[in-house]
Amino acid sequence: MNQLFSIENIDEVKPKINQEIENLRNLINKYDFEYYNNANSLVSDKEYDVIFRRLQDLEKENPEFASQDSPTQRVGGKALGEFNQIVHNKPMLSLGNTYSEEEVADFDRKIKEALEETPYQYVCELKYDGVSLSVKYENGAFLEAATRGDGFKGDDISANIKTVKTIPLKLQSEILPEDLTFEVRGEVFLNESDFIRINEQRVENNEKLYANPRNLTAGTIKLLDPKEVAKRQLNVAFYYLDSEKILKSTHFDNLQFIKDLGLPNSPYSKLCNNLEEVFEFINYWDKHRSELPFQIDGIVIKLNSIKQQEILGFVARSPRWAIAYKFEAEKAITKLNNITLQVGRTGVVTPVAELEPVQLAGTVISRATLHNYDFISEKDIRVGDYVEIEKGGEVIPKVVSVILDRRPEDSIKFEFPTYCPCELKSLLIRPEGEANYYCENPDCPSQLKRRIEHFASRNAMDIESLGEKNVEILINQGFIKSISDIYELKNHIDELIKIERFGQKSIVKLLAAIEESKKNPLWKLIFALGIRFIGEGASKILAKSFKNIDEIAKADKEKLISINEIGEKMAESIIRFFKDEKEQILLINLQKSELNFTSDSYSFHTKSLILQDIIFVLTGELNTITRDKAKELIESHGGKVSGSVSKKTNYLIAGENAGSKRTKALELGVRILSEQEFFEILKKD
């Protein structure tokens, strides 16, 4: 790295550097604030990058001036092993829900009574359909962020929330007292366009889709790697301020003050003088909510005066001074043109409604799920019917009812097709007691396509160039008839190059990714095989509990269910899979292709994976357990034990008379656990 300043005049230079760092931070904070809160670019992207990099360099060269609230620290820390817990100053409560105007009127009547006719106002706010969040500032600087959790304590998601650009790490405002410490609460959410973008990427990577922006938000704030979070573009709207010093006398003024502090609030909140104005707000947003860039699921009505809020108080875990009016899911009526079948990788057949395209919640809908046979027959849904469809924030809308008045006279009851829609037209079978039909022909091309897509997907064998489109081509052109054919593709280079979509370069890339996948850890292969009911977690457990695939194949039901987290249904499915002759041939072929069949995580006494990937160091005298036993215990829960403390260490377990390792851990900021605290962690399992 280049020295930014020469060593000779260091005493003179250091204060100057500190000043420059401070100036750069203030400048970047100002640019960020304007850009993310007011959509205002004060400088070009290039200029911004230059000063950002200058700050990064100066901080790297002068670590003594490092600061947690520097804008460079938004995506600072390393990936976490797990979240710490934060106990809330006051419990995080929820709201009572209503679905009708009468109930809102009832809420208003109770308030009027309790306030004995003194005048009052309401604040109406959008009810963001996201995840609630608490953020604390100490002396004007970001301190920590927590999820709601059980209402009393939540996960410490500070590292993730610091990646949200609208959240200042240091408050800018001049209106603040120096030592300002306070808490704000609000909702973290994703815009619909980001939700769609992320799901589209997931389609490409063959990853499971998120059902709605809320689920995606919840998944995002719980990611263990802040760098991944930063890519997702989270937003926050704060709607509550708690502070000893700066509390105003009304909620509306608090909302304004949140904004004055430089924190994001909702620009849509409105002060209402009476119930009519409240209904006006409700009706306006019920009609216009699809125009918002994010999803809302209702309106929150809050008493404005804080004193009056105190008079009303709380009932159970909700305030009496506020209520949520929930919107009905958006609905539309359209014609059901056809019912088609979709075949999944396990052969499960899902009926899909092919609809006359109709506008619903801002998008045009032409398909909806019909779930399974029972769903269709209970509602007596028929081709040609007019149906009511609903979009409750989910990607795939649902058919909720049939408009019987509009049913054509000649309509006939829907009979579930007897045969699979693929070319082989195999008989569909409905196992006793199940709502689903299955295509049980293992040669079914629809199933094969899904199986290959799953096998190659990121969390399974992670063969990057083998996405949906390429899989389809390779199957249609006869190159892939079974999973094991993936590893035979290298013998067909000349023919593959002739396929229009593939050039030499992409074939090389594909074949390299396929070769690379042979080295994957065993759990990825187990997951990739697509054994029914065996997801990622169970695959990891199996790889920890058996030395290799052969041992799993040999295991009987008793042995399988003796493993924590492997239930009866899973055990039966594993046995069925390994008994199947076709699967046996597949495994022989995969072994011939030299895929990794051996576990590198095998430990005969795996109890759980609660400590997966967490690195411990043991030191001092432990009271209740020997060192060896503690090591065994950690490993049996998926953790690792290392001999010395380094930056990679997650926890030091320090017994009595701990010495130099403890000092090193303190230096490096490694968390130190007492023996007692360590057992507390394990109890959570």
| Alpha-carbon span 591 to 597, nearest angstrom | 7
324 three-state secondary structure: strand
> Which residue among 127, 165, 544, 607 is the active-site one?
127
* Annotation marks residue 569 as catalytic: no
Q: Which CB sits closer to ligand IVH, 21 or 300?
A: 300
Q: Which residues bind ligand IVH (CB under 6 A)?
A: 93-95, 125, 127-128, 132, 187, 239, 300, 319, 322, 324
| Alpha-carbon span 559 to 249, nearest angstrom | 65
Q: Which CB sits closer to ligand IVH, 127 or 454?
A: 127
| Alpha-carbon span 476 to 480, nearest angstrom | 8
Q: In the numeric block, which tokens belong to residue 208?
A: 């499971």
Q: Which CB sits closer to ligand IVH, 124 or 483?
A: 124
State in angstroms the smallest separation of the CB of 328 from ligand IVH. 17
Q: In the numeric block, which tokens belong to residue 234?
A: 């989270």
CA dihedral angle for residue 282, residue 283, residue 286, residue 291, rounded to 10 degrees: -100
Label the pairing between strands 97-98 and 322-326.
Answer: parallel
Q: Which CB sits closer to ligand IVH, 167 or 538?
A: 167
State in angstroms the smallest separation of the CB of 135 from ligand IVH. 14
| Alpha-carbon span 419 to 417, nearest angstrom | 6
Query: Longest Cα pair distance anywhere in the chain, in angstroms?
Result: 96
| Alpha-carbon span 147 to 155, nearest angstrom | 5
Strand partners, 241: 184
State in angstroms the smallest separation of the CB of 304 from ligand IVH. 13
Backbone phi, psi, residue 615, to 5°: -105, 125
Q: Which CB sits closer to ligand IVH, 89 or 491?
A: 89
State in angstroms the smallest separation of the CB of 97 from ligand IVH. 8
Burial of 37 per CB tally in 10 Å (0-12, 13-18, 19+) = middle
**Buried residues in 92-129 as b, exposed as e (16+ CB within 10 A):** beebeebeeeeebeebbeebeebbeeeebbbbbbbbbb
What Rg, from alpha-carbon coordinates, does the chain have?
A: 30
| Alpha-carbon span 191 to 220, nearest angstrom | 13
| Alpha-carbon span 62 to 1, nearest angstrom | 12
Strand partners, 618: 653
Q: Which CB sits closer to ligand IVH, 30 or 320?
A: 320
Q: Which CB sits closer to ligand IVH, 324 or 496?
A: 324
Q: In what order do the strands lie in the sheet with 182-189?
A: 141-147, 131-138, 182-189, 235-242
Task: Give the DSSP letter string of 201-219.
Answer: HHHHTTPPPPSSHHHHHHH
State in angstroms the smallest separation of the CB of 133 from ligand IVH. 8
Q: Which CB sits closer to ligand IVH, 324 or 420?
A: 324
State in angstroms the smallest separation of the CB of 17 from ligand IVH. 43
| Alpha-carbon span 255 to 36, nearest angstrom | 18
State in angstroms the smallest separation of the CB of 383 from ligand IVH. 40
- For 13, other C-beta atoms within 10 Å of its C-beta total 16
Let me know how many helices (H) and strands (E) the chain has, helices first: 24, 24
| Alpha-carbon span 322 to 305, nearest angstrom | 12
State in angstroms the smallest separation of the CB of 325 from ligand IVH. 11
Q: In the numeric block, which tokens belong to residue 304?
A: 């404005």
Q: Which CB sits closer to ligand IVH, 93 or 610?
A: 93
State in angstroms the smallest separation of the CB of 164 from ligand IVH. 16
Which residues are the active-site residues? 127
